[in-house]
Amino acid sequence: MSASQLSDPASSSGASAELDRIIEGGLVRTRFQPIFDLDSMSVVAYGTSTRGPKDSPLESQDVLLTAARDSGRIVDFDTVSRAGAILTSERSGLSAPRSLFFSAAPSTVARLADDETALAHPMVLEIAGHTLIDTDLAPLLRAIVRIRDQGWAIAITEVGVDPHTLALLPAVAPDVICLDLQIVSDLPDQRLASVLSGVSAYAEATGCLVLAHGVETEQQLVTARALGATLAQGPLFGGAAELPTTLPYLSGVRPAPSGRLAGLRQDTPFSVAAERREARVSNSGLLLQISLFLEAHAALEGDSALVFGTFQHRENFDDRAVERYYPLGLTAAFVGVFGHGFDQLDLDDSVCGVELDVADPLVAEWNVVVISPNFAATLTARQLGDPSPTNDTYEFILTHDRRLTIEAARTLVARL
């Protein structure tokens, strides 16, 4: 059976049987492509790709991956691919943490987060940007938090294919953003400017790395540098092959300074903002007007907006709040609302409701956080004095600082 025959429905059973043989027998072969640091022009890590056995109709990486998807065995395929990459690299003496980039489907990410054995080998986990749009985001973000806690780094690929991807960068908190030069070069000028502006703003605010994929010529290398790339991969630096006999010293990829969500679960937007901004005193009337303004701006940003709101207690998420947040959920990339008693809410899929423990310090705060490629703002407030219903005195901070807003958002992502 040839590879071309695999697309024939009549041969699908044969392809499935061959896939089963490869997965159950661990018969995959790993190829490694060097990733260069553009400052030192040295190899810092390797990208991995998986192929089937030689002379197998599923030898090709693309055909093998398609067969795994069509058979509903993508998690099994990713698992055996990761195991093969680790085994091959360790036999060659490559053991530096985060020195291998490994691509996985969202369903694999969820399984990986619960696999302590697999997590003992920190890698750079690549997640395709377009898959973020087609998955239940909250469980995926929770899995990413657990994986990063174990020393892994996160990379987002195909940035620019869908505007949602740019909006979700602060939620996913990638340590590496991957720009495919072919995809980027094919974008209309206005879209290209939006992507580059969004990536640049996020990288500047967080210190994450930018990796240029598909660098083939010296001119493309110049383009990669102009796009803000700090890492590069492509034919100019070497194709996918077996690991060299003598390995270079690999430093691996270091997580971005502000890229980790670990340790933020007891932080809140107010505690983060108060470290760098002075709070002012006001009443709930002004805070509501500011909240309405930020929510309206989020609506204008459409599918490029990430929106979080905290409401303290269930009764505060009243009909008026529902009327504001449900329409946002239909247009924004992601909308999350938090509060004690929110497990009693009957929310539709457009809004993610998060239950807070009554002892969580976030219960004492009023927060609205909005981030898009073109806008960033955080309103964070908490009551002064007696927390009784008659007390209408608040201390609050309003900031449009992107880095501070991203950090505020991450304290909320850590609670999803």
Per residue in 364-384, pLDDT (tens digit) is 999 999 999 889 999 999 999
Select the more confidently predicted residue: 5 or 410.
Answer: 410
Other CB atoms within 10 Å distance of the CB of residue 15: 23
What local confidence, expressed as pLDDT, does residue 344 receive? 87
pLDDT surpassing 80 at residue 283: yes
- Distance (Å, whole) CA 139 – CA 197: 29
Closest listed residue to residue 132, CA positions, set 104, 102, 112: 104
- Distance (Å, whole) CA 181 – CA 211: 10
The domain ranges of the chain are 3-237, 269-413
Q: Are strands 375-383 and 176-180 parallel, antiparallel or unpaired?
A: unpaired
Q: Model confidence at 53, in pLDDT bands (50, 70, 90)?
A: very high
- Thinking of the domain 269-413, which architecture would CATH place it in? 2-Layer Sandwich (3.30)
What local confidence, expressed as pLDDT, does residue 350 receive? 86
Per residue in 96-151, pLDDT (tens digit) is 889 999 999 999 998 999 999 889 999 999 999 888 877 888 889 889 988 988 88
- Distance (Å, whole) CA 214 – CA 228: 15
Task: Give me the phi and psi of 330, to 5 degrees please.
Answer: -80, -20
Q: pTM for this one?
A: 0.83
pLDDT surpassing 90 at residue 389: no
What local confidence, expressed as pLDDT, does residue 265 receive? 59
Per residue in 55-81, pLDDT (tens digit) is 999 999 999 999 999 999 999 999 999
Select the more confidently predicted residue: 12 or 361.
Answer: 361
Q: Model confidence at 7, in pLDDT bands (50, 70, 90)?
A: very low
Structure tokens at 264: 């933020």
Per residue in 77-87, pLDDT (tens digit) is 999 999 999 99
Name the percent of the chain lying above pLDDT 90.
61
Homologous superfamily of 3-237: EAL domain (3.20.20.450)
Name residue 11's amino acid: S
Structure tokens at 219: 């001119």
What local confidence, expressed as pLDDT, does residue 348 receive? 78
Closest listed residue to residue 230, CA positions, set 251, 255, 209: 209
Task: Give me the phi and psi of 115, to 5 degrees please.
Answer: -105, 95
What local confidence, expressed as pLDDT, does residue 341 receive? 95
What local confidence, expressed as pLDDT, does residue 125 receive? 95
* Three-state helix/strand/coil letters over the chain: CCHHHHHCHHHHHHHHHHHHHHHHHCCCEEEEEEEEECCCCEEEEEEEEEECCCCCCCCCHHHHHHHHHHCCCHHHHHHHHHHHHHHHHHHCCCCCCCCEEEECCHHHHHHHCCCHHHHCCCCEEEEEHHHHCCCCHHHHHHHHHHHHHCCCEEEEECCCCCHHHHHHHHHHCCCEEEEEHHHHHCCCHHHHHHHHHHHHHHHHHHCCEEEEECCCCHHHHHHHHHCCCCEECCHHHCCCECCCCCCCCCCCCCCCCCCCCCCCCCCCHHHHHHCCCCCEEECHHHHHHHHHHHHHHHHHHHHHCEEEEEEEEHHHCCHHHHHHHHHHHHHCCEEEEEEECHHHCCCCCCCEEEECCCCCHHHHEEEEEEEECCEEEEEEEEECCCCCCCCCCEEEEEECCHHHHHHHHHHHHCCC
pLDDT surpassing 60 at residue 363: yes
Q: Could you tell me if 129 and 157 are in contact, meaning their C-beta atoms sit under 8 angstroms apart?
A: yes
What local confidence, expressed as pLDDT, does residue 294 receive? 97
Q: Could you tell me if 3 and 63 are in contact, meaning their C-beta atoms sit under 8 angstroms apart?
A: yes
Per residue in 226-277, pLDDT (tens digit) is 889 999 999 999 999 998 877 767 777 877 654 444 445 579 999 999 999 9
Q: Model confidence at 286, in pLDDT bands (50, 70, 90)?
A: very high
Average pLDDT over residues 335-359: 91
pLDDT surpassing 50 at residue 2: no
Mean of per-residue pLDDT scores for the chain = 88
Q: Could you tell me if 306 and 168 are in contact, meaning their C-beta atoms sit under 8 angstroms apart?
A: yes
Place of tokens 């608040």: 394
What local confidence, expressed as pLDDT, does residue 3 receive? 44
What local confidence, expressed as pLDDT, does residue 281 receive? 96
Q: Model confidence at 394, in pLDDT bands (50, 70, 90)?
A: very high
Sheet with 375-383, strands from edge to edge, namely: 280-282, 394-399, 375-383, 365-372, 306-313, 334-340, 352-355
